[in-house]
Amino acid sequence: MADDPLQERVAALEERVARLELRPRAPQSEVFWALEGLRERLTGDGEVLFTGVVDLPTGEHYAWQQGAATAGLLEANWADHAAPYAALGHPVRLTLLRAVLRGTRSAAELQETAGLNTTGQLYHHLKQLTATGWLQAEGRGHYQVPAGRVVPLLVLLSAVVPAPNPTTTQE
């Protein structure tokens, strides 16, 4: 049954897994591999870099990298950028964003997921998230997290969700 599409897909997946298992792994002593790569590129007094590769339960795939010079960040007026953080400061909005990343996209499903009693409550929160760029409408009553916000959102969350084995150093 070589013409069976399911068998062909399973065989292709088995081949990919076998190749991945053969890849050499970095020694555990290379704890700061991303930091060392950044240090090699530094030209000024420091830089902040965040990056990520994300495969969502929806099948969407995102790769993202962004860096900023430390001096520019310290000189910027942080108050000018408070609105996007404020929009994340409500448990219902965080619930909505997590639901959208997991594949719940319609307003009706989001209302149910967040446990909101009225559409007015839902749209109040959706308005805050869309106005600050954390969500965008993708058709009548459907929402998505814009591609350029997926990894930054997860980076912000990773900064406050306790990591099981954080790696830090002060030089």
What would the DSSP string read from start to end of 10-39?
HHHHHHHHHHHHHSPPPPTT-TTHHHHHHH
Tens of pLDDT along 45-57? Answer: 788 888 888 999 9
Contact at 8 Å (CB) between 78 and 97? no
Tens of pLDDT along 120-141? Answer: 999 999 999 999 999 999 988 8
Q: What is the pLDDT of residue 28?
A: 43
Tens of pLDDT along 57-101? Answer: 999 999 888 888 888 999 999 999 999 999 999 999 999 999 999
Q: What is the pLDDT of residue 165?
A: 67
Q: What is the pLDDT of residue 127?
A: 96
Q: What is the pLDDT of residue 30?
A: 62
- 3-state SS, residue 131: helix
Contact at 8 Å (CB) between 107 and 120? no
Sign of torsion over alpha carbons 157, 97, 58, 116: positive
pLDDT of residue 171 exceeding 70: no
| Tokens of residue 119, six digits | 């559409």
pLDDT of residue 114 exceeding 90: yes
